[in-house]
Amino acid sequence: MLSKKTKYGIKALTFLARQKDNTPVQIAEIAKAEHISLKFLESILLLLRHSGFLGAKKGKGGGYYLIKEPKDINMAKVYRILEGPIALLPCASHNFYEKCDDCTDESLCAVRKLMMEVRDNTLMILENNSLADIAF
């Protein structure tokens, strides 16, 4: 299940992508429009800024804005930042690989086999979707 963090993060990105011009939008405005807890959203936007998706402007008239074009924002990257691994099992993950404690021979593990197939497919979908693809 997707965490609310990821859900809210993508919603916020979408909201910014749908702005006419790229002027800063206040956290409070996004929170209100998307019905998101303000403080929680604050931490999410901060993370997205640190990850290079958003810029921020302080002071009056400040807020958050997209740094890149929506079409250049890859949803697989976004997903990994917000949610973490795309694979459903650590042993089936590219970027977050971890060996299972209980497995003696990974190559014989049926669960891993199945979950790698699922991962490959999910990854492909996320890679092939930009923010522009889902926002418009």
Partner DNA sequence: TATTAATCTATTAAACCGATAGGGTAGTAG
Partner DNA sequence: CTACTACCCTATCGGTTTAATAGATTAATA
- How many beta carbons lie within 10 A of that of residue 115, not counting itself? 18
* Binding residues for a second copy (CB under 8 A): 1-2, 7, 10-11, 14, 34-36, 75, 85, 88-89, 101-104, 109-111, 113-115, 117-118, 121-122, 125-126, 129, 131, 134-135
Exposure letters 14-24 (e unless 16+ CB within 10 A, then b): bbbbeeeeeeb
**What are the distances in angstroms from CA 27 to CA 74, 76, 109, 115?**
23, 24, 46, 37
Residue whose CB is less far from DNA, 9 or 70: 9
Residue whose CB is less far from DNA, 3 or 22: 3
Considering CB distances under 5 to 8 angstroms, the limit depending on partner class, which of DNA, a second copy, none binds residue 60?
DNA
Question: Least CB distance from residue 83 to a second copy, whole Å?
Answer: 9
